């Protein structure tokens, strides 16, 4: 996108986040839902398709632009970002990367406009970090596949019209090489989306189990070659991890802003607590770490744009930034004292919201494994 146009998109989104989303964060938390006006506003800003190609009605942001947008979105309740996160992220990128022209034309315009929400359905009750062990099957029967299995914690599933489903087409135990991807319309007979989960944080963002019982899809619903899906999933996770790392940086900025404001106005011992060096130390640590995270994300995004292999640096960025925002949230609660422990205070909610970032799109331990394996591979 032209730099001036992108600057204008970014400043409009920043304004929307600060003027429209932040004032409604308590409502999002209490109702466990996103107000209709914010959904409409997100659609008008093109947020349901910011990373989808322009020819399909998206904004076509590059990863370098995507992370700048994510810094801005991370500043507000992460449930707002999550609403359109799957369309642009892991679900949308699979269709962009591997979909046929027909599949792209059928789904991407409706996803970009916000009419259609897509979910990425990889995890299962028995297959989380070890996603390649998934048990959902897709059995070929002439011109169709029959899908059976259960998917777990699927973000946006209760609202989704399209499920990007990973299922085993190879023999049982065929591992990563026996998995294929299917574009499954959510209203097909045999699909049950359970009640959405009750989570620790990120109220307003819904996850649910999705059950597939003899769901029949045409062979044309398969994305890419049979058995190649795992590679596709892992590639789309690289970009997804950079985006999540950037969201963490945005949240760290907000936690710091809340902490600085509080430290400047709260008085104890006859002076603002911000004048105490022990409080200053916490503010300085949070600032330093947020700066390190932002720099890391920007560097990794530049490398991704240049076509370098970014699996390691994307894992480094996701690992560092998700752990960093956890530390930042902890300090923010500490700086707020007893108030920081009370419901309704933004840092209390963010403390719970931030916890997820170390778990999904690969836990911290999985990022460590990815990083260390690549170091050892290079050494050999
Ligand atoms: C709110 C939320 C939204 C989600 N959204 C989606 C979604 O949209 N689509 C989707 O497909 N999935 C989604 N997930 C699933 C998510 O990706 C998984 O929860 C995550 O990958 C971890 O899997 P698990 O929960 O089964 O934990 P497990 O894999 O059982 O891990 C448990 C613990 O063991 C550790 N561990 C596992 N293997 C190793 C190892 N080899 N070495 C060291 N430690 C290890 C883990 O790091 C973790 O600490 C979501 C999850 C949540 C909570």
Q: 74 and 81 in contact (C-beta within 8 Å)? A: yes
Q: Please report which residue ranges of 273-363 form alpha helices under DSSP H.
A: 277-305, 311-335, 346-355
pLDDT one-digit tens code per residue, 10-41: 999 999 999 999 999 999 999 999 999 999 99
* Residue whose structure tokens are 């997820």: 356
CA of 128 to the centre of ligand 1 (A): 4
Q: What is the average per-residue pLDDT within 114-122?
A: 97
Supply the pLDDT for residue 39. 98
pLDDT one-digit tens code per residue, 333-348: 999 999 999 999 999 9
pLDDT one-digit tens code per residue, 349-361: 999 999 999 999 9
Nearest protein CA to atom 26 of ligand 1, as residue: 128
pLDDT one-digit tens code per residue, 165-215: 999 999 998 999 999 999 999 999 999 999 999 999 999 999 999 999 999
Which ligand 1 atom sits nearest the alpha carbon of residue 197? 1
Q: Tell which residue, 148, 312, 119, has the closest CA to residue 216.
A: 148
Q: Tell which residue, 142, 214, 132, 121, has the closest CA to residue 170.
A: 132
Instruction: Just list the catalytic residues.
Output: 361
| Token digits of residue 95 | 């269709």
What secondary structure does DSSP assign to 308-321, as a single string? ---HHHHHHHHHHH
Q: With a threshold of 0.85, does the pTM exceed it?
A: yes
Q: 148 and 214 in contact (C-beta within 8 Å)? A: yes
Nearest protein CA to atom 43 of ligand 1, as residue: 365
Greater confidence (235 vs 366) lies with 366
- With a Cβ cut-off of 6 Å, ligand 1 is lined by 119-123, 128-129, 153-155, 199, 207, 356, 359-360, 363, 365-366, 369
Q: What residues contact 354, with CB distance under 8 A and at least 6 apart?
A: 201, 248, 251, 322, 325, 326, 328, 329
CA of 319 to the centre of ligand 1 (A): 14
**CA distances to 58, 264, 296, 357 from 363, in Å:** 30, 36, 19, 8
**Using CA atoms, how far apart are residues 163 and 165, in angstroms rounded to an integer?**
6
**Using CA atoms, how far apart are residues 301 and 356, in angstroms rounded to an integer?**
22
> How much of the chain, in percent, has pLDDT values that exceed 90?
94
**CA distances to 147, 237, 371 from 300, in Å:** 37, 14, 14
Nearest protein CA to atom 31 of ligand 1, as residue: 129
CA of 359 to the centre of ligand 1 (A): 6
Sort strands 271-272 and 267-268 into parallel, antiparallel or unpaired.
Answer: antiparallel
| Token digits of residue 247 | 């969201």
Nearest protein CA to atom 45 of ligand 1, as residue: 365
**CA distances to 287, 290, 347, 354 from 328, in Å:** 9, 8, 10, 9
């Amino acid at each position: 996108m032209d730099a001036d146009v992108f600057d204008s998109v970014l400043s409009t989104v920043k304004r929307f986040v600060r003027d429209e989303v932040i004032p409604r964060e308590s409502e999002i938390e209490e109702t466990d839902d996103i107000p209709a006006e914010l959904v409409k506003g997100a659609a008008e800003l093109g947020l349901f398709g910011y990373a989808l190609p322009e020819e399909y009605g998206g904004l076509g942001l590059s990863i370098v632009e995507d992370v700048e947008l994510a810094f801005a979105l991370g500043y507000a309740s992460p449930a707002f970002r999550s609403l359109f996160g799957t369309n642009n992220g892991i679900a949308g990128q699979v269709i962009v990367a591997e979909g046929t022209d027909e599949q792209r034309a059928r789904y991407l315009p409706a996803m970009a406009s916000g009419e259609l929400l897509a979910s990425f359905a990889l995890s299962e009750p028995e297959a989380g970090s070890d996603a390649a062990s998934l048990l959902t099957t897709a059995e070929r029967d002439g011109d169709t596949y029959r899908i059976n299995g259960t998917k777990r914690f699927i973000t946006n599933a209760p609202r989704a019209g399209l499920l990007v489903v990973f299922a085993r087409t190879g023999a049982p135990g065929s591992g990563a090489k026996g998995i294929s991807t299917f574009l499954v319309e959510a209203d097909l007979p045999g699909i049950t989306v359970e009640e959405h989960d009750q989570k620790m944080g990120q109220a307003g963002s819904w996850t649910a189990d999705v059950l597939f019982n003899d769901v029949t899809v045409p062979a044309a619903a398969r994305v890419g070659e049979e058995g190649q899906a795992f590679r596709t999933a892992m590639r789309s996770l690289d970009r997804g991890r950079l985006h999540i790392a950037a969201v963490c940086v945005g949240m760290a900025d907000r936690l710091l802003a809340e902490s600085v404001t509080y430290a400047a106005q709260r008085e104890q011992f006859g002076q603002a607590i911000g004048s105490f060096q022990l409080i200053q130390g916490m503010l300085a640590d949070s600032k330093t770490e947020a700066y390190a995270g932002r720099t890391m994300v920007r560097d990794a995004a530049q490398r991704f744009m240049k076509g370098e292999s970014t699996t390691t640096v994307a894992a480094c960025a996701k690992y560092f930034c998700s752990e960093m925002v956890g530390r930042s949230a902890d300090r923010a609660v500490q700086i707020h004292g007893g108030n920081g422990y009370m419901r309704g205070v933004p840092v209390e909610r963010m403390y719970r919201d931030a916890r997820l970032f170390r778990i999904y799109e690969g836990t911290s331990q999985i990022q460590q494994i990815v990083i260390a394996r690549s170091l050892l591979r290079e050494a050999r």
